[in-house]
Every structure is written in structure tokens, then in C-alpha cells.
């Protein structure tokens, strides 16, 4: 079906957004040209990513070794099913997020659009680099590029709150990656002489003392700060000072999914499912993830600011995926991988809606949303569908991923985790449906404000409708995702 697309090398795929970013930056002072490049860059990127799919499905994803950074330590790419899914998710949503971002920025009167869109493109290139990494070092390089390139986006508006938020953001991400992940990486390299992602893991009990293995697990899981495991989750709410397109594509999809993708990859291909369950810290980390899942949901319920609520919801949903990885059974790992996809579509819809609500009515808090559904029906219906997907109710894709996660936990015998999943789903309902109910069922609290509200511009409205539609399509297409992912688990 996809044979007509030429298959290019992984490096070329990764380079497309970077080239696009350079073009956008160079054309920053010419609005027409700049917008043209912004529109055009995601398209070849998407096609190039899609072109990798047939080979991955055939079990022979492209590989490419670039240079030896240090003797015996190469920068290289290898496309594996999990990475393929992440890249497809990011490239698809970038296609939709670009018009949204341009529409949002212009409508909200932001300046420096060139810098913004260039960094946006770099972040996507870095996400693709993470997805296609052949080894931990390559992953780390793109991980850091992603952190750095999103910093200007978070601080974009340049006032004091956004500077403070951006400072927390970059500080936490760099402290965890430089302070914990880097030494863990050097340590693994010293112990095994390789950092390649290998099916079944490269670490084993013979190479490391039990204490060392246990410490490495902690270092890596906390070191991948983008997975927002508590107590290193503060950067995600802090990042909400960014313009909504950033929160939508990056802090609901690219950045956080890069984090959980890294966790999944590390668990599957560095530790290996068999080795990880023998580590002394494994139960602790598993229950920390479960705790994060519940605690973040509880915090989310108390947030009145819509974006803050969504941010804590993201922290909680990421913990689902980490839990799925740490359950160390194949069904749960596949469920984690699928939840990356499903939550990505669901959460970007919610953020798109939050941005559209702000643009259309100036409302940022949930308490002010009473009666908004009559003025912004499309947005609120999309919000409802997105919420269903994040909660995990049919007919949306989120249903399948949560089903696999729960089944996986059940088959692993972790009944406490099963209970936690259930409880957390109830909490999801508790924080995601009230905005919808307020908007549709309650009479307007502030008549004047609501009366002035109108749907956001089409550039914003169409993408959010499409992603909402996407969550429903995924309900029926989940089998394809399962087939793509299942070879990833040994």
C-alpha cells in the first residue's frame, strides 16, 4: 500500500525538520516566505517517515551508522517498531499542529514567529532522532537537543512568569539528564562496552553487582526527566506558561512522549524485561510510577486553570506508560506503547481546545467555562471526544491501550496496580468531564463574556476537529498499531 513512497535513509528523515528550521530562520523577516516554509516542512517529513513503515512492518527497519563519536561508540540510527510508532505520531500531529500554531500565534499577536517556528521544527527533528536512535548515546544527543530547542518556546512571550517557568523547565530537564542519565550511560558503557539497543537488553546479572544494577535503574528512570516521574515532574506544569501550540504538540506529544519512549526503550533494550524484575529497586520504581499516576490525578482535580489541569493529567498519563513498561510483561509493554499513541491524539485535542477556548473567549479557567458550549460547540465537542480518549472509553483509541495495560497488570499478578488503574480512570473522569458538563449543561455565569465568545479561527478549529476524529479512527485501527508493536517485545 505504501510501496510507492521512496524509502530514504533515517538520517535524511531526521534532517528534514532541521533544514526546514534553517530555512524558516533565514526567512524570518519575510512573513510570506517564512509561512511557506512552515507549511511545507512537515509534509516531506511525514512522507519520509511513512516511507519507513513498510520495511519496519517487514521486520527490517532501516539502519544507518554515522560516525564513531568515541572509539567503539557510534552515532547511528535503527528504526524499530516502537520508534516507528513514535515518529509516525509526531509527524502526523505536526502536520496538524502547524496550521494551528500559525493561526494561534497570529491571532494572539505574538512576535518572533520565525524563531518560534524554527525551534518548533528543531524539536520535531530531535523527536525523530530520538525515535530512530540505534543506541543510548544517539538517543541522549537528540534528547538534549530537544530540551534546548524547546527552552526558547517555553520562554517565548518573554515576561517574568514565562522566564521563571522556562527556568524551572530547563533546570529540571538538564539537571536530571546531565546529573543522572549521563553518568548512568557512562557507567553502562564502562561495564558492557556498548550502548546499542539490543532485543532482550544488554545488561545482565553477571556484568553488574545487584546494587549497581539497582542504582542504574533509579538513575535512568529519574534521569529521563521528560517522563515526568515524581518528584521530577515540576517542569511540566512550569512549561504551561508557553503558548498553547507548544503545550499541545510538545508538552503533550513530542517532549513527554520522547520521555516515555526513552523509558520504554531503556527498559526493553538496555535492561531487558527478564533482568529488570530481578533488581532490588524495581518494585520501588513500579510503585512510584503508580503513586505518580494517582497523585497527579488528585492534583489535577484541584486545578482550576485548564492548562494546569491538563498538564497534571499528562503527568498522570505518562505514569501509566512507565507503569506499563515496569510491569515487565509483554501485554503491558505493548499497552504502554499504544498509550503513547492514543494519549498523544487525545491530549493534543484537549490542548488544541484549551488554546481555542482562550483565543475565542479569553477564558483560561474551568470555573469560567459555564455555558460556553453554546457559543463554541465544535471546540467543546472535540474536547469531549479528546477527554473520552484520555479516560479510555470507547469509541476512542484510548480504550484499547488502557485495556492492554490492565490486562498486562492482571497477567503479571500485580492486582494492586490493576486497582490503581481503575481508581485512576475514575479520577480521570473526575477532572476531564466537568469542563464539558459545565460548558454544555450550566447556564453562563458571566453572560457578557460568554456572549462575546465565538469559535476560534478556522486554522485552529480544523486541526482540533481532525485530531478528535483521529481518536475515533484509532478505535477502529488499533489492530494495526498492535501488529506494528508486537514484534518490538521479545
Site residues for other proteins per CB under 8 A: 66-71, 75, 112, 137, 140-141, 144-145, 148, 152, 155, 158, 162-163, 166-167, 170-171, 174-175, 178-179, 182-183, 186-187, 189-190
**179 vs 377 by CB, closer to other proteins:** 179
**156 vs 414 by CB, closer to other proteins:** 156
**126 vs 382 by CB, closer to other proteins:** 126
Q: How many helices (H) does the chain have, and how many strands (E)?
A: 22, 2
Grid coordinates in use for 182?
Answer: 549521563
Is residue 197 within 8 A of residue 136, CB to CB? The reply is yes
Half-sphere exposure of 16 (CA within 13 A, CB side): 21
**179 vs 210 by CB, closer to other proteins:** 179
- Smallest gap from Cβ 271 to other proteins, in A, equals 19
- Smallest gap from Cβ 468 to other proteins, in A, equals 34
**163 vs 454 by CB, closer to other proteins:** 163
Q: What is the CA radius of gyration of the chain?
A: 21
- Smallest gap from Cβ 467 to other proteins, in A, equals 31
- Smallest gap from Cβ 71 to other proteins, in A, equals 5
**176 vs 281 by CB, closer to other proteins:** 176
- Smallest gap from Cβ 69 to other proteins, in A, equals 6
Cell 482562550: give the residue: 358
- Smallest gap from Cβ 44 to other proteins, in A, equals 24
Nearest residue to 136 (alpha-carbon basis) of 77, 195, 71: 195
Mapped onto helix, strand or coil, the DSSP state of residue 68 is: strand
- DSSP annotation of 5: S
CA distance 70 to 50: 32
Helices (H), 362-457: 372-375, 377-391, 398-411, 415-441, 447-452
Is residue 326 within 8 A of residue 276, CB to CB? The reply is yes
**213 vs 463 by CB, closer to other proteins:** 213
CA distance 342 to 478: 9
- Smallest gap from Cβ 141 to other proteins, in A, equals 4
Find the helix or strand (DSSP H, E) in which 63 lies: strand 63-70
Amino acid at each position: 500500500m505504501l510501496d510507492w513512497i521512496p524509502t530514504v535513509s533515517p538520517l535524511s528523515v531526521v534532517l528534514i525538520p532541521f533544514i526546514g528550521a534553517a530555512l524558516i530562520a533565514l526567512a524570518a523577516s519575510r512573513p510570506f516566505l517564512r509561512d511557506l516554509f512552515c507549511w511545507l516542512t512537515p509534509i516531506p517529513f511525514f512522507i519520509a517517515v511513512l516511507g519507513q513503515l513498510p520495511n519496519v512492518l517487514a521486520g527490517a527497519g532501516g539502519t544507518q551508522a554515522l560516525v564513531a563519536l568515541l572509539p567503539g561508540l557510534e552515532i547511528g540510527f535503527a528504526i524499530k517498531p516502537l520508534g516507528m510508532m513514535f515518529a509516525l505520531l509526531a509527524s502526523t500531529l505536526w502536520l496538524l499542529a502547524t496550521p494551528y500554531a500559525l493561526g494561534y500565534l497570529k491571532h494572539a499577536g505574538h512576535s518572533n514567529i520565525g524563531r518560534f517556528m524554527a525551534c518548533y521544527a528543531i524539536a520535531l527533528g530531535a523527536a525523530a532522532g530520538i525515535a530512530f536512535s540505534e543506541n543510548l548515546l544517539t538517543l541522549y544527543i537528540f534528547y538534549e537537543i530537544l530540551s534546548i530547542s524547546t527552552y526558547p518556546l517555553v520562554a517565548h512571550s518573554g515576561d517574568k512568569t514565562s522566564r521563571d517557568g522556562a527556568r524551572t523547565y530547563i533546570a529540571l530537564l538538564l539537571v536530571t539528564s546531565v546529573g543522572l542519565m549521563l553518568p548512568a550511560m557512562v557507567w553502562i558503557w564502562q561495564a558492557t562496552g556498548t550502548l546499542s539497543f539490543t532485543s532482550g537488553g544488554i545488561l545482565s546479572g553477571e556484568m553488574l553487582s545487584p546494587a549497581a544494577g539497582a542504582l542504574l535503574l533509579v538513575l535512568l528512570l529519574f534521569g529521563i526527566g521528560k517522563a515526568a516521574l515524581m518528584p521530577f515532574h515540576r517542569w511540566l506544569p512550569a512549561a504551561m506558561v508557553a503558548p498553547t501550540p507548544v503545550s499541545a504538540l510538545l508538552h503533550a506529544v513530542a517532549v513527554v512522549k520522547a520521555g516515555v519512549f526513552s523509558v520504554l526503550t531503556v527498559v526493553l533494550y538496555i535492561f531487558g524485561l527478564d533482568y529488570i524484575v530481578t533488581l532490588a529497586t524495581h518494585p520501588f520504581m513500579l510503585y512510584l510510577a503508580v503513586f505518580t499516576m494517582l497523585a497527579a490525578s488528585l492534583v489535577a482535580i484541584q486545578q482550576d486553570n485548564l492548562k494546569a489541569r491538563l498538564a497534571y493529567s499528562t503527568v498522570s498519563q505518562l505514569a501509566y506508560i512507565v507503569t506499563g513498561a515496569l510491569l515487565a510483561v509483554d501485554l503491558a509493554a505493548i499497552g504502554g506503547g499504544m498509550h503513547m499513541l492514543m494519549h498523544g491524539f487525545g491530549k493534543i485535542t484537549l490542548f488544541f481546545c484549551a488554546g481555542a477556548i482562550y483565543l475565542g473567549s479569553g477564558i483560561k479557567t474551568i470555573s469560567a467555562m459555564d455555558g460556553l458550549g453554546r457559543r463554541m460547540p465544535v471546540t467543546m465537542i472535540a474536547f469531549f471526544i479528546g477527554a473520552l480518549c484520555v479516560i479510555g472509553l470507547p469509541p476512542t483509541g484510548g480504550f484499547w491501550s488502557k485495556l492492554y495495560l490492565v490486562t498486562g497488570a492482571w497477567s503479571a499478578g500485580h492486582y494492586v496496580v490493576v486497582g490503581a488503574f481503575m481508581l485512576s480512570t475514575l479520577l480521570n473522569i473526575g477532572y476531564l468531564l466537568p469542563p464539558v458538563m459545565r460548558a454544555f449543561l450550566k447556564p453562563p455565569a458571566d453572560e457578557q463574556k460568554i456572549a462575546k465568545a465565538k469559535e476560534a479561527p478556522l486554522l485552529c478549529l480544523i486541526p482540533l476537529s481532525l485530531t478528535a476524529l483521529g481518536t475515533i479512527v484509532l478505535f477502529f485501527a488499533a489492530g494495526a498499531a498492535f501488529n506494528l508493536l508486537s514484534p518490538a517485545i521479545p
